[in-house]
Every structure is written in C-alpha cells, then in structure tokens.
Amino acid sequence: MDQLRQSLLDAPIIEKGDYQYFVHPISDGVPMLKPGLLREIVIKIIRKADLEDVDKIVTPAAMGIHISTAVSLMTDIPLVVIRKREYGLDGEVSLHQQTGYSEGDMFINDVNEGDRVLVLDDVLSTGGTMKAVLDALDHIGADVVDTVAIIKKAGPNELDDSEHHVKTLINVTVEDGEVVIVDEHGDD
C-alpha cells in the first residue's frame, strides 16, 4: 500500500481553536519520519515537478526543509530556506504569512530577479504561507517554474482566485476527527 496514503489515514487529529489539524511526520515530524516514506515522497515530487532549468529549490521553514533537502540531494539543485528570523543581509526580502492557526514574518535570502525556482512545501491548507511566498518571489522577479505541496487539505484557500497553481501529491480533508483521502493522486 502507498505509504503516504496509509500514514495520513493513521494520523491523529488535534484541535487548534476551530481548526482541525492532522499530526503527521511530514508536516510535524511526529511521529518519526521513516526513510521509506520520505523516499516515496521525494520520488513522487521528482516525477511530478517540472525541474528543467530550475536554479533553486525554495522552501519555507521549518517543515519543508527535510523534504526539500532530500529533493536537493537527489537533483543537485541548490536549496534556499525562507526563514522566520531576519538576518539583515543584502537583498533580504520580508513577507508576512498567516495560516489557519498562526501568523508571522518570514525572510528570503539568496533569491534574485531571473532565478528559476521550484517552490516546495509540506502542506497546503489555508494557502496563507504559500500565497505570501509566491507573492514575494513575484516581487523579487524570480521565475516560479513550479510549485509543489506534498499534502493539500481540501477546501477553499487563498490561492483559489490567484494566478498561482500548486501541484500536490495527495489531497485530504478532516471529517469527524479522521483524515479522509479526497484524491490519492493530488493535483497536477
């Protein structure tokens, strides 16, 4: 059976205010992330993403880092992590992101006008983080070649009425305290 699919079906659900949040190795690091699951996800990303002429992989901290690192190692594409800490380096760009349960500022370094980037993230839920990242990359003048999120929590999100399209590996929803697979192949 597909490891990602089964791991989501087994994921516990917690409440964060009115938000039902699934706890998963990809999005939370809990329970532990087994190498086989990470390998399966990386292979799926490499098969689904348009990697031709990509200069950099860009991922928001923190839970996109392990996925993006593995993709970087397999493709030899350098990795840029969007951090929650300001460093004040030349060319640093700040962005404000808001999710279903938190908000804050993030900072991009080492992405320049004309860079061809692949944006990777763990989960697309409200779309707040992804929209902020994509808008900031547009402002910089980077060429977003492709955007991939591992898991999409089905339902409306902030990217629905934008020109940005996010590919996903699997789409889920949370109903009555359980993860339900909506589309086991995700969005192309």
**54, 74 in Cβ contact below 8 A?**
no
For each of the domains in the chain, give its residue range(s) and CATH number, in order of start. 1-181 (3.40.50.2020)
Buried/exposed 139-170: b ≥16 CB within 10 Å, e otherwise: ebebebbbbbbbbbbbeebbbeeeebebbbbb
The pTM assigned to this predicted structure is 0.93
Q: Write the pLDDT tens digit of every residue in 37-94.
A: 999 999 999 999 999 999 999 999 989 999 999 999 999 999 999 998 999 999 999 9
Cα separation, 111 vs 5, in Å, equals 33
Q: Write the pLDDT tens digit of every residue in 159-175.
A: 998 999 999 999 999 99
Q: Where are the beta strands (DSSP E) in 38-102?
A: 56-60, 79-82, 93-98
**131, 163 in Cβ contact below 8 A?**
no
